[in-house]
Amino acid sequence: MILVTGGAGYIGSHLVMELLKQGKDVIVFDSLELGHIETIETLRQYGNLKFIKGNLKNIDDIRGAFMLNKDIEAVVHFAAYSQVAESVKNPQKYYYNNVYGTLNLLNAMLEFGVKKIVFSSTAATYGEPVYTPIDEKHPQNPINPYGTTKLIIEKIMDDYDKAYGLKSVRLRYFNVAGANSDGKIGEWHEPETHLIPNVLKASSFKSFKMFGTNYDTADGTCVRDYINVEDLADAHVKALEYLKNGGDTNYFNLGTKTGNSVKEVFAACESVKGTSIPLEICPRREGDPAELVADNTKAREVLGWTPKNDLKYSIKTAYEWENNLKKLQNMV
């Protein structure tokens, strides 16, 4: 049985769906502060899913999950706050939730003898790129509290391995995009801050705001590496297999090695929608590096992982999901 924290959220729910499709038993532990009960209801249709509503900040919530489920083999830990701008304004919220919450999780794991964890880390642990594409040897100097919380957790995991033999795989995501292929689950943030959903949500009432067109890139807009969410879920499945097969603590970049500019993403969204999208050019958003592209060689070689879906496919599935989400939101 696999315990997934944050399994009612965007990326976590895609992994849960994949595990259920493979016939695995899954427990989702989620506070539903940011995740959605509707997502859990959808996931239940795919297999044997237990849901525990709990908060990692309450050690007894997570101890209870282990106490009642003695057959947990491994944990996949998504639950976290992840908005960069908010983390700058309110670091206390981020350190308390992300770092303290993870400590409770790790301590409960040790107490109940569970010693394998796959952890959602981030390209934000690297900070301002010194070279590109970014490989795992790139220095980690986060430039915001969100990235720092994830780096601190990576370091705690190293120490817990040395002292207690807790094995971790840290997956450093670049820009996650798309929704599941049948449009049943997808990105559902309130408020939404990410590029693709914001372009797709734009209308004549609310134009899309493009943040900065004077970067030192080919077309002046920021370049990012958009990794499809189902490919990302597949990397987690492979990371679990790696640990199950006795793999040591390790860390991997998850991206495609291809960069796309904000203008390119915008044009691809217009092409998928088949209409022009109202656009407003705005000043730069604080803290956005010009370019973030992953060197994914290590994940390919060690995990045997290959991303399969391109940006256009991610945008198509995101668009289908946006349409389904509107229906869901009208119902709730």
Positions marked active-site = 146
CA–CA dist 100, 98 (Å, integer): 6
Q: Which residues pair with 28 in a beta bridge?
A: 4, 51
CA–CA dist 262, 271 (Å, integer): 14
Q: What is each CA distance from 125 to 20, 88, 145, 252, in whole angstroms?
A: 31, 15, 10, 12
CA–CA dist 218, 99 (Å, integer): 38
* Comparison of 195 and 240: residue with beta carbon closer to ligand UDP: 195
3-class DSSP assignment, residue 243: helix
**214 Cβ contact list (under 8 Å, min separation 6):** 220, 284
Contact predicate 6/75, CB 8 Å: no
Residue nearest to ligand UDP (CB): 222
* Comparison of 103 and 290: residue with beta carbon closer to ligand UDP: 290
Shortest distance (Å) from residue 245 CB to ligand UDP = 32
Shortest distance (Å) from residue 175 CB to ligand UDP = 5
Shortest distance (Å) from residue 192 CB to ligand UDP = 8
C-alpha atoms less than 13 angstroms from C-alpha of 84 in its C-beta half-sphere? 16
Q: CA nearest 168: which of 239, 237, 234, 254?
A: 239
Shortest distance (Å) from residue 294 CB to ligand UDP = 12
Shortest distance (Å) from residue 267 CB to ligand UDP = 13
* Comparison of 46 and 211: residue with beta carbon closer to ligand UDP: 211
Which positions lie near ligand UDP, rule CB under 6 A? 175, 193-195, 198, 209-211, 222, 224, 262, 285, 288
| Helices and strands counted in the chain (H then E) | 12, 14
3-class DSSP assignment, residue 110: helix
* Comparison of 97 and 314: residue with beta carbon closer to ligand UDP: 314
* Comparison of 38 and 86: residue with beta carbon closer to ligand UDP: 86
* Comparison of 55 and 175: residue with beta carbon closer to ligand UDP: 175
CA–CA dist 114, 67 (Å, integer): 12
Shortest distance (Å) from residue 211 CB to ligand UDP = 4
Tell me phi and psi for residue 274, to 5 degrees.
Answer: 70, 20
Taking every pair of Cα atoms in the chain, the longest distance, rounded to a whole number of angstroms, is 58
Contact predicate 227/254, CB 8 Å: yes
